[in-house]
Structure 1
Amino acid sequence: MDATLIRSYLFVPATHPARFAKAAASGADAVIIDLEDAVSPDAKDDARNAACAFFDAGGHALLRVNAADTAWFAQDMALCASAGVTGIVLPKAEGARELDAVRNALHEAKPVLPIIETAAGIANAGSIAADPQTVRLLFGTVDFCLDLNVQGDGEELLFYRSLLVLASRLGGIDMPVDGPALSIHEPEALQRACEHARRIGFGGKLCIHPAQVADVNRCFSPSDAELEWAARVVDRAGSGAGAFSLDGKMVDAPVIERAARILSRARTA
């Protein structure tokens, strides 16, 4: 799937290969096989071997490698040469050093999705987004809060989320992806988090459990009401009306463009 259309990214630990097929069947737009946070240090080799077996058998997924400054990075990057690895999820991305390490390790370029999860990552988000390898920024909210001693995942992170939206736009890449909701069975809280992220310019969300996927996909898709409104705006604009009033609200060029984007994204999806 085109990276610009992905709403949900579902993590699955590489130590649980029996879950790979279930993750693929979950309805998630993309699956991330995780070699990093979900895998203990003494299980790294077994996890990598399990991921390798999946890709060798014809499986396709994104792969979260270990950070560039770890002892496991080189072997993780060797696995990324597999045709089944559709993109590299790069943790602790802080600037050119990590992106250059990925570039130097690959014989053939692949899409990179840097995770911004440190103060340095936020400070350098503009240059990370502008790197030609980068297709999308992911916000690693849990590690970010730890790094900055931020307590809370709501308004406490609004400034930093907005910086990622701005960096993505200036870098010419798609809308960033928000961090995961840690409460697996609280759909109301998940919906609130998704709606907030979407309002401020995010285009998707990381998921840590299949139960979150359907809600995330729904929240980051245009509703029937939005599609109906967009169709009416574009239809009216096509008549050459210029600026006009619709449902008691003024519609001019920026509003017409927003409606056209909604319809275009829905058609492409």
Structure 2
Amino acid sequence: MAVPSTHQAIARATTFLFVPATRPERIAKALASGAGAVVVDLEDAVAPGEKAAARTALLAAVKALEPAQRARLLVRTNAADTPWHADDVVAVAACVAQGLAGAMLAKAESAAELGALARALGPQGLLVPLVESNAGLDALDALAQAPQVVRLAFGHLDFQVDLGLECAADEAELLPVRLALVRASRRAGLAAPVDGVTTATDDLARLAEDTARSRRMGFGGKLCIHPAQVAPVQAAFAPDPAALAWARRVLDEAPAHGGAVFRLDGRMVDAPVLALAARLLARAGDQPTAV
């Protein structure tokens, strides 16, 4: 089986596990957790006085990793308007030169910020803008269409703070924002966006509810803050075996009908149903029959 490219690894990942840059010994463990991608955090997880030491630790840790591990690694940089951003970019660029996937920009708010970051990282550096503010929401299309952006991510906690929201447990107040991220990703031809964290690391029921909502809304992954969250989130995003079997049967049957509507198991199969079947198989990494 061919090894997925760095772009494929980030575009297909359903779990993005955060690790503080001040705990470099956890990076290899996080990569071994089964997470699709690991995000080394230089932002919220690192106190201002520890930023420089965290960058040094990051550089040393990346050198010790295997190439396949580096391809699944992102670094969350501090926002572009902070005093730490420029030094973060220098460190991440050095890591990208060694095969690290790219950067997750905290509080992304403009295409100009992303353009500058892309130029600093070079053409191989992938970008995942983290939308965490009203300004970021206003700039969604520009962020999604910026060079080297693979997918969008939603920092829903900071977003609530920025807008002064007090969301209920089901976060119904954020449904329009989540839909906006999904729509912007679709317009830009990106992989489905990545939803925010579930902070209750010991509440698997809450995690299941949050992840189910993410999937229903069209998200393709979720940010995680504890290794115990990885397996449940991946399972929630994985296509159901019965649904995959149905999708294969639909696409295998379709050529015999020459593009016409047909019935299978008492259900009408038309163009939208064919597209749904193909999408299910693509998500699972299957290769459907051409229709």
Give TM-score scaled by structure 2 length: 0.88
- Asked if the contact 1:74/1:105 (under 8 Å) is kept, the reply is no
Superposed CA deviations along residues 221-269 of structure 1, whole A, max 9, x for unmatched, are 1011211221121122132262122343321011012101211332359
Identity of aligned residues (%): 48
- Asked if the contact 1:26/1:210 (under 8 Å) is kept, the reply is yes
Aligned equivalents of 2:124, 2:252: Cα separation in 1? 42
Q: Secondary structure at the match of 1:238?
A: helix
Superposed CA deviations along residues 149-203 of structure 1, whole A, max 9, x for unmatched, are 2222521110000000000011111110000111111112111111111111100
One-letter amino acid of the structure 1 residue matched with residue 142 of structure 2: S
One-letter amino acid of the structure 2 residue matched with residue 15 of structure 1: T
- Residue of structure 2 equivalent to 1:120: 135
- Asked if the contact 1:56/1:84 (under 8 Å) is kept, the reply is no
- Residue of structure 2 equivalent to 1:262: 280
Aligned equivalents of 2:261, 2:251: Cα separation in 1? 12
Q: Secondary structure at the match of 2:200?
A: coil
| Equivalent position to 1:76, from 66, 80, 88 | 88
- Residue of structure 2 equivalent to 1:8: 15
RMSD between superposed Cα atoms in Å = 1.7
Gaps of 5+ in 1: none
Aligned equivalents of 1:233, 1:181: Cα separation in 2? 36
- Asked if the contact 2:102/2:121 (under 8 Å) is kept, the reply is no
One-letter amino acid of the structure 1 residue matched with residue 262 of structure 2: F
Q: Secondary structure at the match of 1:26?
A: coil
- Asked if the contact 2:131/2:152 (under 8 Å) is kept, the reply is yes
Task: Work out the number of aligned pairs and report it.
Answer: 269
Q: Secondary structure at the match of 1:63?
A: strand
- Residue of structure 2 equivalent to 1:159: 176
* 1:107 Cα offset (Å): 4.4
Gaps of 5+ in 2: none
Q: Secondary structure at the match of 2:137?
A: helix
Give TM-score scaled by structure 1 length: 0.95
One-letter amino acid of the structure 2 residue matched with residue 263 of structure 1: L
